[in-house]
Structures are given as structure tokens and as C-alpha cells.
Structure 1
Amino acid sequence: MNERNYDSNHHLFAPFISPNPITSFNPIQRYPKIDETAFISPFSSVIGDVRITDNVYVAPNVSIRADEGTPFYIGSNTNLQDGVILHGLLNKFVSVGGKRYSIYIGSEVSIAHGALIHGPCYIGKKTFVGFNSIVYNAIIEEGTFIAYNAVVTNGVRIPAKRFVPPGAHIDTQEKANALPEVSGDEEKFAQGVQSVNQEFPAAYNNLLFGSHCCSCGMPYSH
């Protein structure tokens, strides 16, 4: 995996990327690992043991903070939209492939504006998490559609390709098992969001790190 260095030449656009602070509960500093094809927007922060893989898009004002719960993993072609927060509880984990994570987000996931993803949690591939929703202490299997203002918590497991209605509070396994399947319209909407956001990493990287930048990192046109 190739990774970009956010050097001083691009300081005007550089997000805040740093290791975790040294504390009694996290005494070792670990730096984020960010694939060079990913894009981390200005005014966003990535702290600690965070693995961001290929073609991930992190929009402005996103906070990815692995200073308590750790590590985090974000799979390929995933997008974290404006105002999304990722944080996790100390020593609480999900297990994926024999490794423990505070937060694990699979590939082609869309986390919409203002959502909170709080570990321990697992979000399977091709899941959509809607505006201002909360996922905390939960397992979300692939292809799930969580609508806006919903809450999923209390250790529940959402089966694959289920629909969580707007404003729903899913805090028991009984509620989770009773959820309806995702409809064709919801699948189409999620696919559309993916289609748009998968173009952003390359486009923004070209804008801010391509040939049309002066030495200060400011883009310009002819």
C-alpha cells in the first residue's frame, strides 16, 4: 500500500493527521495508515491507529479519532460524509478475520452527513448509514440500509440487507430480527450515492495535489 505524506507544501489544505497521544491506557503512539488513492478533506482529523484503504473519501469536518478505542479500519471505496464522527470505547472490540477492532467498516459503505459511528461496532460492505444516525455497540451485516435519525445499539446484530426505518430505535435483537428487507428503491439510492462518492477521491486529489497547484498547495487555473 502506497501512502501520501501531507507535507508543508500542502499545508493550506492539510487535514489534521497525527498519532494518538500517549496515555496510561494507550502508552504507544501509532500513526494512521492512509492509502495514497484515498482523500482526506480539509478540516477533517484522523488520529491514531486508523487504516484507510484505497479510494476512500473523507469529506470536510469528519472526525476519525482512535485515541481511546482502537484500531479502526475503513474499507475500499467507502465514503464518510460531512460531519461524520468515528470514536470507540476503551477495550471494547469486534472480531474480524481473527483480529480485534474498535470500529471495522467494510468496502463500499456510505456514512451520510452527521452520522455517529461509535465502537465497538462492525459495518458490513455496501451498507448505507443515513443522516444523523447513530450506530453504537452493534453488528451491521452487509447491504443494510439505515435511514436518517435512526439508532442501532445495545449489542444487536442487524441481518444482511435489512431496512432500518427513519427514526427507529433498534436496541433489542427481537427488533433487529423483525426488520423488513431492503427494497429496490433503497438499493438504487445507495448505489447512486456510491457512484457519486467513488469519483471524489481521484477528483479532489487531482484538484489539490495535481499539476495545477502552486508550491503553497493552492489550486489555480490558467
Structure 2
Amino acid sequence: MIEKNVVTDFCGKSSEPVIDATSYVHPLAAVIGNVILGKNIMVSPTAVVRGDEGQPLFVGDDSNVQDGVVIHALETEMNGKEVTKNLYEVEGEKYGVYVGRRVSLAHQVQIHGPAVVLDGTFVGMKALVFKSFVGKGCVIEPGAIVMGVSVADGCYVPAGMVLRTQEDADALPSITDDYPFKNLNNGVVHVNTNLAKQYLAAQKA
């Protein structure tokens, strides 16, 4: 389902999602409102990208939004006025949620804005990112909770960790050559960009 959002006191404009022609949204997924999807994105069954409260929501080229993923955000305006605390600025633009290029959001991940996940990061199954900024080339292992912190480029958050202080975030381990999930995201991106391409082709056949 792809549709406009309704107008409310916290979202004063009805917006149609902007989806590149090379991206595939499964019929059992929902993309609603002020959402921008770049190129070669796979949005899998039961995923929800809902830009009807906090917005805009952005997903960059070659990323994937897997089964059961939720991308949503706290209100970014109220009665026509910007709610600055619920916005992140990336490259001069403000977003409720910004997901960069070649990012994998695995099954049942929740990215709840205000939130940023930068290029090349893998977010593992059932992880939550909320009120947080996650850098480039990171791994958020399955079941981790990342809340109210900034995660530096090239770090990983161990499975099941509840990360709620910046002190703990600053002490996260760096991804090294012997880290078992160092190259995991490359394979996941390869699979999902190919799935998007082939589902689109099948749809047009």
C-alpha cells in the first residue's frame, strides 16, 4: 500500500511518497505520507514506513527495509511550527528519520525518529534505534536497544545490549578484521538489491 497521509495539527500537509522507479514496495508493505525512497530499495512484506507524524522519512539508495520493519517518528511540527528537538539535520536537510545508502534494516527492526542511521550500517533483527545517531559502517547486533546516544563510525553494539548513556556509546568496540559480522552487510545488500530488481521485472512481465 502506497498512499498520502492525512492532515492533522501535527502534520499540516498531505504528501504522496516519493519512490524511485527502481525500488520495489511489496503489496503487503505500507509506505505512507512524507517518505522519500531512493534507488534499488527493497521494502519487504509487512514493513511499514509511515511519514504521517514525524517527517520526512528518508531511505537512501541500495538500502533494504525487511519484513516487519517499522520506520516512524515523533511529531516534527505542531500547529505549523517546527518541533526542532525531533529533527536531525543531514547534509543541510532536516529529517524525522534519515537512513543512508547501503543500510540493511533486518527483520522486525524499529527505527523511530528522531533517528539517523548512516551509510553501510547493518541493523540486526528486532533491534531498536530511537532518539539516536548511528554512524557509518556500524553493526547493531540483533535485539540491541540504542536510545538517546550517538554511535561513532565503525563500531558495533553487541546483541541484546541496552545502550542508553553516551559514556557506554563512547566505549563501544570497533569493528576489526576478525569481527565475525564485518562483511555481513555487503551480502545482505547484494541479496536485497537483486530481489528488488527481479520483483520489479516480474511485476512488469
User: Where on the TM-score scale, by shorter chain, does this alignment land: which range?
Assistant: over 0.9
Matched, 1:104 2:89: no
Picking from 175, 179, 189, the partner of 1:194 is: 189
What residue ranges of structure 2 are gaps of 5+ in the alignment?
A: 77-85
The structure number with the bigger radius of gyration is 1
Distance (whole Å) between structure 1 residues aligned to residue 47 and residue 128 of structure 2: 15
TM-score, reference length from structure 1: 0.85
1:165 pairs, out of 158, 161, 167, with 158
Q: CA RMSD in A?
A: 0.9
Moved over 2 A (4+): none
Matched residue count: 194
Structure-1 residue corresponding to 2:118: 124
- Helix, strand or coil at the partner of 2:129: strand
Find the counterpart in structure 2 of residue 220 from structure 1.
Answer: none
1:183 Cα shift?
A: 3.6
Partner of 1:176: 169
Which sections of structure 1, spanning at least 5 residues, go unmatched? Answer: 1-15, 212-222
Q: CA deviation at 1:144?
A: 0.5
1:66-118 C-alpha deviation (Å, 9 max, x unpaired):
11000011100000110000110012100011211000000000000001000
State yes or no: 1:95 paired with 2:89: yes
Provide the TM-score with structure 2 as the length reference: 0.92
Instruction: Give the SS at the match of 1:119.
Output: strand
CA displacement 1:148-181 (0-9 Å, x = unmatched): 0000012x11000101000001111111111101
Moved more, 129-138 or 197-206: 197-206
Do structure 1's residue 47 and structure 2's residue 32 form an aligned pair?
A: yes
Q: CA deviation at 1:189?
A: 1.6
CA distance in 1, matches of 2:199, 2:193: 11
Per-residue displacement from partner, 1:19-56 (whole Å, max 9, x unpaired)? 11111221211110000000001211011111101101
Distance in structure 2 (CA, Å) of the matches to 1:178 and 1:56? 33
Q: Does 1:153 align with 2:153?
A: no
Q: Secondary structure at the match of 2:75?
A: coil
**What letter corresponds to residue 173 of structure 1 in structure 2?**
Q
Partner of 1:204: 199
Q: Which has the higher strand share?
A: 2
Q: Secondary structure at the match of 2:182?
A: helix
Please tell me whether residue 70 in structure 1 is matched to residue 55 in structure 2: yes
Quote the residue 1:217 is aligned against.
none
Q: What SS is found at the alignment partner of 1:186?
A: coil
